[in-house]
Amino acid sequence: MTDPIISFAHVGKSFPARRGTPEVTALADVDLAVPEGAILGVIGRSGAGKSTLIRLVNGLERPTSGRITVDGTDITALSEAGLREARRSIGMIFQHFNLLARRTAFENVALPLEIAGVPRREIKARVEPLLDLVGLADKRDRYPAELSGGQKQRVGIARALATRPRVLLSDEATSALDPETTNQILALLRRVNAELNLTVLLITHEMAVIKAVADRVAVLDGGRIVEEGTTFELFARPRHPTTKSFISAVAGSALPPYIAARLKAEPTPGGQALVRIVFTGDHATDPVLSRISRLLGVDVNIIQAQVDDIAGQPFGVIVIGIPNDAVTVAAVVNAVEKLSLSAEVLGHV
């Protein structure tokens, strides 16, 4: 990893009790480093603390404890005037776009420059290339009501880039969009990240978004980061139950309902053991199942399988059924692990 451009050190955030409701701890002892030039995704369920975390980066919320630095500046120590200055290097895009209805696309992108007192000639020189970058040069004079959801988000991205930030924050920026438009916006974020060397911190509840765009991922659960690493690492070897549940939704590793309903912890006479094998690395394309069947003399029943690409590396998940006696199961798991692949016994049917 390169040096972090955003750093959380033992950060906590609590909201005080109000009108008889108890105090709410949104974040607890969060340590997180976002490498410069990376796209880091923070994923968690509703109420996990994602929105609070991202609002702490640009000072929209103040932490109860700990320290946050952005591009070498201690955000937690800044005055309101200092925060306003720091926010010029921190762009942000929102779930519901937050465009001004009475301003055109050009005027919405120009707004932060006008507030900063940038001369009109320079504003034009900055805004027009940004509209071209996001593919909206021909929509510069359109109002938000005349734009699609994806086009509105493109305006939001261009506006966030107007002050030439070092960091871009994305607050569920694709959750209001259809799948095709979501893919287009994520591709645009990738392009912006690559061409401008812009660090992106995005929060989402969708693992498909992480898979499509993030270099690294942090999993937030109950206000704490329970797992963090490269996207490929987490897909290949998730450890925390929350991570596993997110990944199962997009990696083809969730069992079909009719199988899951029959799954038991203990073997039954004449039944099968279900083993999940994750194919990664140099052996990802090896004929593992035929090799196991031939060497061990084991009948292998394919229950479910999917081959994918995670961060440019081959990644596959397959669930097989094999005779459920302990010796056979141990032999199959051992054979798989000798190939540097991972095998997990899910249960018995």
Q: What is the pLDDT of residues 221-233, one digit of tens each?
A: 999 999 999 998 8
CATH architecture for the domain at 4-248? 3-Layer(aba) Sandwich (3.40)
pLDDT tens-digit readout, 304-332:
887 777 777 778 888 899 998 899 999 99
Please determine, for residue 253, whether its predicted confidence score (pLDDT) is greater than 90: no
Confidence of residue 191 (pLDDT cuts 50, 70, 90): very high
What does the pLDDT read at residue 124?
95
Q: Which of 48, 60, 63, 57 is nearest to 15 (CA)?
A: 63
**Largest separation between any pair of C-alpha atoms in the chain:** 80
* CA end-to-end distance (rounded Å), the chain: 43
Q: CA 320 to CA 315: how far, in whole Å?
A: 17
Q: Domain coordinates of the chain in residue numbers?
A: 4-248, 257-348
Confidence of residue 238 (pLDDT cuts 50, 70, 90): confident
- Region of residue 47 (left: phi > 0; alpha: psi -120 to 50; beta: else): left
Confidence of residue 3 (pLDDT cuts 50, 70, 90): confident
What is the fold, at CATH topology level, of the domain defined by 257-348?
Alpha-Beta Plaits (3.30.70)
What does the pLDDT read at residue 252?
56
What's the Cα-to-Cα distance from 245 to each of 23, 242, 310, 341, rounded to whole Å? 29, 5, 17, 20
Q: Which of 282, 286, 208, 216 is nearest to 247 (CA)?
A: 208
Q: CA 320 to CA 299: how far, in whole Å?
A: 10
Q: Fold match between 4-248 and 257-348?
A: no
What does the pLDDT read at residue 213?
92
| Mean predicted confidence (pLDDT) in 81-103 | 92
DSSP run (H or E) holding 39: strand 39-43
